[in-house]
Structure 1
């Protein structure tokens, strides 16, 4: 059982925010997930990696943009 306010309960809440955002919007970049959820880019990156490793989400290769860093969906 998770203690309210613990690191594990915060992690679970953040994970649920990311999953909910993707379910509602469909394909999103990590930057879009961060803006939608209000989570930091680093937190989103870690959660997406965890969800990908667990088979919950699929990450598609980035498209090449005209300039700047390409975004994975």
Structure 2
């Protein structure tokens, strides 16, 4: 709770993988169904808990901003 990065393989694993997914999308994203975090099971329950992370990885910053504004 206080230091989530203190145990990267434990309780904060999913949060860290979510950050990796969002960051790897960059500006334009990797492309539809071209992400790596979701299909390779780094993000379990990607269709419910981490849907924004998967979307941000595939569509990037521009797609994420469009989603948030629309």
TM class, shorter-length: 0.3 to 0.5
Q: Under a length normalisation based on structure 1, what TM-score does the superposition of the two structures give?
A: 0.42
Q: Under a length normalisation based on structure 2, what TM-score does the superposition of the two structures give?
A: 0.43
**Relative to total residues, which structure has the larger helix share, 1 or 2?**
1
Determine which structure has greater relative contact order: mean sequence separation of CA pairs < 8 Å that are 6+ residues apart, divided by chain length: 2
Q: Which has the larger radius of gyration?
A: 1
